[in-house]
Structure 1
Amino acid sequence: MTKNNSRRSFIKQASLTSAALSTTPFLLAAPKHQTELLQRAYSFQKFGVNDQINIALIGTGIQGIYDTQAALQVDGIKIVAACDLYTGRLDRAKELWGQNIFVTRDYREILNRKDIDAVLIATPDHWHQTITVAALKAGKHVYCEKPMVQNFNEGQEIIKAQKDSGKICQIGSQGMSSLGNEKAKELYEDGAIGDIVMLDMYNDRYSAEGAWQYPIPTDANFKTIDFETFLGSAPKVPFDNNRFFRWRNYQDYGTGVAGDLFVHAFSTLNYVINSDGPNRALATGGLRYWKDGRDVPDVSISLYDYPKTETHAPFNAAFRINFIAGSGGGGGFKLIGTEGEMEIGQNSVTINRSKLGMEPSGYSMISFTEDMQAKIRKEYAAKELNTRASSLATGTTTWKAQRNYKGAHYDHFFNFFTSIRTNGKIIQDPKFGLRAAGAALLANESYSRKQPVDWDPTEMKLL
């Protein structure tokens, strides 16, 4: 798909629209530190009881609760059931959503209920595929938290189950439907940064919580936790509160920093530039500080190669995660192109452009005589090197969401529920989810093998 066709398709299919004008005037009008507002126009309807979408949450942990709170902000949505393997979280579900809510430690009881239209799956990663496939086969619409799969070979079964069921399946990288992503896509397709040559992504953290050392409740024991079910297909080990409440720290249940953080970046990147993803990865890193029994690194650096396609030039991507960043923490996501750079956030996009220096300066001229310097300057002047890249407006332009913006998480659920009601197009279907998860998992594969690994982004297969 060409950039122009991609843009027309995007505008036609989007279920959410932003009040955004063409970016071309901003590229040529030489704005200096200019700020423009982004707005979201929602199409609201009144929903009666018969039009209500009933949801259930499977996995009532941190992300599951945040997902549900975002989902319930959308009109016409009601939560009727929750599932978790720790009884304390079922008590929390009743605190949050009412004593009448149905709770269970067996997700199959959720899928058997006829009054549930859609399920939110926010379990540990190693349960995503099993429950997602079962839910689709049970006739439920599915919102599955990222990463969609823990292993490369699990994705095709989800894709098939969704196709066979005809149900909506949205993958939950919560920033995907943001105003920032939407504007960045428009800017990129309008040529705001020229040809992309590099992506720079980093996430620095400096807290125990940020490094997944989540609190463990005082009543956690083999009676309040169904640990055997939690293990699922993972290797059998003795009861361990750390493994249950801090599962991200273990390869048996999670996907490390790649599955937790890279996958968000790949979702945004692939969406903005309309790409299937990278075809090669090389990763390194190590366990530098949080030596608490975990078997995944807390410092990770991964390099990716993106091949040339109809929508982008070949480029490289650098992903860096540091869970012991003495600087105090922070993050960034920046596309760097031949004509500028674009920094993307959920609520804003900033374009920076500088004049491309094409003529020699005093640094390289110093070794020549004054007479020769004059001749060289005359020669360069005759070449008329004022290309589009060098004549573009310089400076900084920021597009920022208004203060009343409902946020990316809301937008992702708005897209999900609107698609259920209209049988419309979602923004992150299972194929998209597998390409984002697959790209992220390449880092784990390369780290484990201690060598580069290759991936077919079109067929979504490890080579």
Structure 2
Amino acid sequence: MGKGQLFTHEYDAINQLLGIGIPKSVSFLGGVYYWKDNWDMPDVLTSVFDYPEKELTMTYSATLGNSFSRGRRIMGHDATMELGRSMKVTADKNSTQFANQLRNGTFGTSDPILTISPEYEIDAVSGATSTENYYASRGLTDTVINGLQIDTTHLHIKEWIDCIRYGGKPSDNIDKAFEEGITVLMAHKSYVEQRRVEWDSVQRSSNLFC
């Protein structure tokens, strides 16, 4: 949402990891609170996406009136995973899975129990624009596989070409596009009409177009 339509990319990243699909309902709060220059999209917003069947709620917040870097956090009972240029997992003090390790001092809750932080610097050419810097800071340009740093665009194109050559379906396929498109439309509808929007997973329809 907002200038640049970044939410689709943010949601795609989480949907690729968790496979959460279309939410049962979406509630949106926000408005044009800072950039008062005839915008038709909010510059400050919070959206809540509810998945009762998965016992999960996702919150997406954004502001274009502040430059503080915001990251992605997947918060569970046992640990929290933070994603960006690096990835780290920190145990929760009330964790059931890690209760013994926390009790005997194998690790604590102040430091990550797992960190993946590739040595990476943006080169002076490709990193010259704010867009390049933005995507690099979000962990969207490079990844590490078996200790090797690999460009994610290469992996994306390679998967597509392999599907053409050998058959199969790319991971970012039409089904994912449908899920993410409907989710974004639900959030937009909630904002415009200032109401909660719901999805019927059986009929594969919603009050979206009512």
- TM-score past 0.5 threshold: yes
Matches within 5 A, 1:39-438: 256-257=1-2, 260-308=5-53, 313-325=54-66, 328-345=67-84, 347-356=85-94, 387-392=96-101, 393-394=107-108, 395-396=111-112, 397-401=114-118, 403=120, 405-438=149-182
CA RMSD of aligned residues (A): 2.5
| CA drift at 1:425 | 2.2
Mapped to 2, the partners of 1:341 and 1:415 lie a distance apart of: 30
Mapped to 1, the partners of 2:3 and 2:61 lie a distance apart of: 10
1:407–1:320 Cα change, 3 Å: same
| CA drift at 1:439 | 1.1
1:323–1:259 Cα change, 3 Å: closer
Mapped to 1, the partners of 2:178 and 2:46 lie a distance apart of: 22
Q: What code does the residue aligned with 2:57 have? A: N
TM (norm. structure 1) is 0.34
* Counterpart secondary structure, 2:178: helix
| Equivalent pair of 2:24/2:198 in contact (CA under 8 Å) | yes
| CA drift at 1:406 | 3.3
| Equivalent pair of 2:80/2:92 in contact (CA under 8 Å) | no
Pick one of 173, 178, 186 that aligns with 1:442: 186
Which structure has the greater CA radius of gyration? Answer: 1
Q: What code does the residue aligned with 2:17 have? A: V
1:268–1:356 Cα change, 3 Å: same
Runs of 5+ unmatched residues, structure 2: 102-106, 121-147
CA deviations 1:131-179 (Å, max 9, x no partner) are xxxxxxxxxxxxxxxxxxxxxxxxxxxxxxxxxxxxxxxxxxxxxxxxx
* Counterpart secondary structure, 2:198: strand
| Equivalent pair of 2:28/2:190 in contact (CA under 8 Å) | yes
| Equivalent pair of 2:77/2:92 in contact (CA under 8 Å) | no
CA deviations 1:366-416 (Å, max 9, x no partner) are xxxxxxxxxxxxxxxxxxxxx534224534121234646233233222222
Which structure is higher in helix share? Answer: 1
Runs of 5+ unmatched residues, structure 1: 1-255, 358-386
Q: What code does the residue aligned with 1:341 have? A: T
Q: What code does the residue aligned with 1:303 have? A: V
Corresponding residue for 2:140? none
| CA drift at 1:348 | 3.2
* Counterpart secondary structure, 1:331: coil
1:416–1:272 Cα change, 3 Å: same
CA deviations 1:183-217 (Å, max 9, x no partner) are xxxxxxxxxxxxxxxxxxxxxxxxxxxxxxxxxxx
Mapped to 2, the partners of 1:329 and 1:458 lie a distance apart of: 41
| CA drift at 1:349 | 1.9
Mapped to 1, the partners of 2:10 and 2:32 lie a distance apart of: 22
